Structure 1
Amino acid sequence: MKILKKIVIVLFSLVVLVGILLGYLTIVEYRPKQQSTTSVKNNQTEVLKLNETYKSLTFNIGYASLGKDEDFVMDGGSKGRTDSKSVMQGYLEGIQNILLGSNSDFYLLQEVDQKSRRSYNENQVLSNAEALGDSYAYTFAYNFKAQFVPFPVSFTDYIGYVESGLQTFSKFKMDEAVRHQFPGEFSWPLRIANLKRAMVVHEYSIEGSDKKFILVNLHMSAYDGDGTLREQEMAYLKAFLNEQKTLGNYVMVGGDFNQTFPEAIGIYPPTQDIWVAYDMETDFLPEGYSFELDLTHPSCRLLNQPYDPLDSNTQYYIIDGFIVSDNISVTDVVNLNHGFLYSDHNPIEITFKLN
């Protein structure tokens, strides 16, 4: 009886501790507004012009922790972070070299950690800004902010505290940057340790035009089970695109959509059902818009294991790219295929003109 009593006491204590933890995490949960202005750091003075050639790059950098030697617990792997800070820093240096080599006018980056246990508290936002230098304005907005993420179940490898989000760079003056919270959320208690998906809308003046250039950086839902979050997010994005079309603005949306684009359906059939990217609705795009993609290489890989292009268990996706309004002429879209050395995504580069 004494042993049974001790077991009951231990179990009751654990329940109380878990209850206290969930209560605390609920109280301090990140609850963003529907729309909030995002500060522009190091804003530039040069203004965009019509009929000039510009270049933009979108890149999910995977918090510089999902390179070629990594797997991830949510993709069928086991890890929550890299084996050491030096490994993460090596990936980050490689990512920044890709950015510098592109010399784009705009960079749309996703999964950039500002302060997170999973990336050894490296301020990647500041590091990226220092790497690109004073010729770029930049913004940062949260896409994931949580006091404690308990996965994977490990005393050393758990994700823990997370501050991560969307970082955008520009060689041109930003008039305004606004974070838009996507609708929908996970049920409690999953919600308190999960992402708060968003898109950041950057507005630019154009010399000689009363219209604006609207540049959107987004990262949409991935692990939402039946896809209801994606449906709400896509409906929100579609309404936004329609509104901008009515205003006559020049619109470019880039990022990680976490869905297979209509033109890419069937290129990389699922080899397993660990994580299957939903097919985007073929009639999603409003009139006056087009997808701009490079279908010659995958834009993402599954993190079920370290990268091995010869292994049949290696799963690919095309889920990164751009949506562009028809008053923008696109001259080239290129997947900068780096073999997933530094991230589980490849960067996508687009060259364009404002007509």
Structure 2
Amino acid sequence: MKKIIKVFVKVLIVLILFIGGFLGYLTVTEYRPDQIEALEISNNQTQKVSLNTTYKAMTYNIGYAGLGSKEDFVMDGGSKGRPDSKEVVLDYLEGTLDILSSHESDFYFLQEVDLKARRSFNLNQVRLIEERLGDGFSSSFAYNFKANFVPFPVSFTDYIGHVESGLLTLSTKQVESSKRHQFPGEFSWPLRIANLKRAMMENTYEIENSDKKLIMVNLHMSAYDGDGSLRKAEMAYLKEFMVAQEALGNYVVIGGDFNQTFPEVKDLFLPKQDYYVAYPIEDDYLPSGYSFQIDPIKPTARLLNQPYDKLDENTQYYLIDGFIVSSNITAFSVINLDYDFLYSDHNPVVLNFKLN
């Protein structure tokens, strides 16, 4: 009996040391970005933005080419932690690339683009997107998720592992500067050491014959925020940013995955069961001089509780992707491109606009 107790104690000590060492390693190597960081601009273009010219912007959460129509995800009530094979990811990615190239845009706001991650079989999606769109685009990348090891979510073999992922903005215009803004708020330790560090990317463009700037913001805001504190902090930061830009008289387009539903459509696509609820943005949230630009007809995202089936009553939809624009911009149209969630759990949204 004593031998059994000794063996148990030894095993327990080894286990404690291993877990302690593992948490220590992740804590020491935790991604700790500055509040604002300058980003590298690749292949910067030479043509500047013009007034009274129509431009097209697309926002698209590509789901790291791992959340297409055949997938579910454990955080949404499914069973899987990552796609079954590299071939599956390549297939979703090829479809995504086809969408980008077939809807030629002046600006692309992409979210959940993996730079290097186990969940997408270490494909450099940033490079592959840049190559497909060609030499006519400047690009900048900002981390939204960076961790050496994420043990979650399913089993010893089905886990996220190493992940480097984030926001990718591409444009046909010359970028004056590109910055990553770290959103305020964070999970408590130890959850934060292997969790997302939500951010927004601010790209600034000079405008011909104007002393004002065009500010293009790509963002991906928090989901699964239990008490709502992260959401509130992020939205307060974004509002303060908009107020500051309005005071400068700049032209502002903000696009991305808000992970919240917009006031105009807060009563649409309501959860059918005990599913994830997209928090409705407050009716009076926007500061003076701004408006939401969304397509209120079709959903932009689906829940990953099961593989996609449009005929199944348990298929849950959301409208959480769209734009905010300043009042000195005319928005001609906003269209949700309905790809039936074939390559991602989101559909792309396209905005046509001009600077007045």
- Using the size of structure 1 for normalisation, the TM-score is 0.99
Cα deviation 1:205-244 (Å, max 9, x = unaligned): 1111110000000000002211100000000000000000
Mapped to 2, the partners of 1:144 and 1:103 lie a distance apart of 28
The range that moved more, 152-161 or 230-239, is 152-161
Residue 313 of structure 1 aligns to a residue in which SS?
coil
Q: Does 1:233 align with 2:234?
A: yes
Structure 2 matches for 1:18-29, cutoff 5 A? 18-29=19-30
Which residue of the partner structure matches residue 10 of structure 1? 11
Q: Corresponding residue for 1:279?
A: 280
| 2-structure distance, mates of 1:311, 1:7 | 50
Task: Kindly state the Cα deviation for residue 11 of structure 1 after the two structures are TM-superposed.
Answer: 2.3
Q: Which runs of 4+ in 1 moved over 3 A?
A: none
Letter in 1 for 2:205: Y
> What's the % identity of the aligned pairs?
64
Which ranges in structure 1 are unaligned for 5 or more consecutive residues? Answer: none
Aligned mates of 2:273, 2:109 — CA distance in 1:
30
Confirm or deny: 8 A CA contact 2:73 2:305 kept in the other structure. yes
C-alpha distance in structure 2 between counterparts of 1:16 and 1:223, whole Å: 31
The 8 Å contact of residues 81 and 154 in structure 2, kept in 1 or not, is answered as: no
**Structure 1 residue matching 2:169: 3-state secondary structure:** strand
Return the alpha-carbon distance in structure 2 between the equivalents of residues 22 and 188 of structure 1: 10
Aligned to 2:289: 288
Give the superposition deviation at 1:9: 2.1
Taking the aligned partners of 1:3 and 1:352, their CA distance within structure 2 comes to 73
Counterpart position of 2:350: 349
**Equivalent position amino acid for 1:168 in 2:** T
Question: Structure 1: how far apart are the matches of 2:347 and 2:5?
Answer: 56
Corresponding residue SS for 2:238: helix
Structure 2 residue matching 1:51: 3-state secondary structure: coil
CA contact (8 A) 2:80 2:154 kept: no
Q: Any unmatched runs of 5+ in structure 2?
A: none
**Correspondences of 1:94-243 after superposition (within 5 Å):** 94-243=95-244
Partner of 1:83: 84
Q: Contact 1:110–1:256 (CA<8 Å) still a contact in 2?
A: yes
Structure 1 residues 48-103: Cα deviation after superposition (integer angstroms, max 9, x where no partner): 11101100000000000000000111111121111000100000000010000110
Query: How many angstroms does 1:274 deviate by?
Result: 3.2
Contact 2:262 2:320 in 1 (8 A): yes
Which whole-Å CA distance do the structure 2 matches of 1:194 and 1:206 have between them?
Answer: 38
| RMSD of aligned Cα (Å) | 0.8
CA contact (8 A) 1:78 1:152 kept: no
Paired amino acid for 2:149: F
* 1:51 counterpart letter in structure 2: N
| Cα shift at 1:4 | 3.2
**Residues in 2 aligned to 1:263 and 1:7: alpha-carbon distance in whole angstroms:** 60
Q: Hey, what's the Cα distance between the residues in 1 that align with 2:350 and 2:274? A: 30
CA deviations over 1:2-46 (Å, ceiling 9, x no partner): 223322322222121111000010000000000000010000000
State the alpha-carbon separation in 1 of the partners of residues 175 and 274 from structure 2.
Answer: 42
1:68 is matched with which residue?
69
**C-alpha contact 1:336 1:346 (8 A) present in aligned 2:** yes
Counterpart residue number, 1:51: 52
Amino acid at match of 2:125: Q
Are 1:301 and 2:298 counterparts?
no
Whole-angstrom distance in 2 between the partners of 1:177 and 1:272? 41
